[in-house]
A = this chain, B = another copy of it.
């Protein structure tokens, strides 16, 4: 596909940039129309690439795009999953260029969604275009692009159940993850699940003057901090009662296999500019993100946060807290355990409420499958070395559901890199990975 890319890449950029310019932030209701704009654009791209049919479908939330080219019902069917929604752009002031005005600098595309997941989804459309145009197509190929991945795919599972026949496939192919580095290609053979909650601690029924009341009432911010501090113990264990009950403990052999992935702790620390890593005692950094669950505060707020000083004891304090889960932790069960635990540790003088955001389960992919082998061979051809099997720390909650509904395994060929800083300012996608990704996908069809 190398030559095809060379010949067409200016057009590719034009098409991709048009997609990236649409601010399809799924979490923000003001962008509702942008979701449709983005979905329509994808339908157009699929049709131009060679799909027999492609259309926008309504769901209970943002629309999904489905397209397909059926060559012969007897041939194996590949279902491509991707998502066209993106994360919010805060803190906007840290972006070097506008998040929705893509630009190429230093060999990479910079924009919100450049990688996650518009850039990676786009590779699949172009690899498909190539095998159609060059008459190399030997599978039935289906596409499902959703607009709610970043908010936990609340509508897709229901929609997928209702359209089970249309989505029927042998493998779900996904590019929405990273590889270890551009020198060390890897294929994700598992992802973590997610439980995400929001907590509110209420003290006095009004904001108070900290002089008049300081020292005599429970300050909700101090209380929230104390409660959060107690959620992780000195050994890095989550203290929520029952949290580890269902965690699958990996065998020595499995841990050794995952330990083969090259990892440079010095480089890692330098990249993040931290003097030390941290986490659960007894596990390596890769294990801490790959095979172990964890708890993080994703946001916290309360009291006076403006410029200067205000002497207030606020009435409320808030936090967003999430847990990454591993098989067989069930996200709904964990959310309930957390809520119960968090309420139980409230000090006197405050009330606590816990509300649940989206969640999803983790999953594992058999590396003995034909699909995994085909992907591995394809990437070997492109990168010159055999990709390493790895476990991703992130979550694509909907994939566990899709696996369950369609009875087909997902395969995660991700071409993102850590340097892409998805979900953060200055999200990027390295051009070399963009090109190699398309080549790898085209070769996957050859070997599968």
Contact = CB atoms under 8 A, between A and B. Distances in A.
B312 A216 contact: no
Interface in A192-225: 192, 194, 196, 198, 203-219, 221-222, 224-225
A348 interface: yes
A308 B358 CA distance: 9
Contacts of A277: 216-217, 349
A222 B318 CA distance: 13
Copies, count:
2
A211 B395 contact: yes
Contact of A229 (B191, B208, B225): B225
B393 A213 contact: yes
B211 A392 contact: yes
A279 interface: yes
Contacts of A264: none
A303 B299 contact: yes
A361 interface: no
Interface string A56-91: 000000000000000000000000000000011011
- Counting chain A residues whose Cβ lies within 8 A of the other chain, the interface size class is 35 or more
A388 B294 CA distance: 55
A270 to B, nearest CB: 10
A181 interface: no
A27 B310 contact: yes
A324 B423 contact: no
Contact of A211 (B204, B358, B394): B394
A210 B424 CA distance: 11
Contacts of A308: 27-28, 151, 357
A319 to B, nearest CB: 8
A425 B305 contact: no
Given A207-B423, A280-B215, A294-B214, A357 B393 contact: no
Contacts of A210: 296, 298, 322, 324
Given A152-B309, A297-B302, A312-B423, 16 more contacts: A27-B310, A88-B310, A151-B308, A151-B309, A194-B211, A214-B295, A214-B393, A215-B293, A215-B296, A219-B296, A221-B299, A278-B347, A278-B349, A308-B357, A309-B320, A311-B322
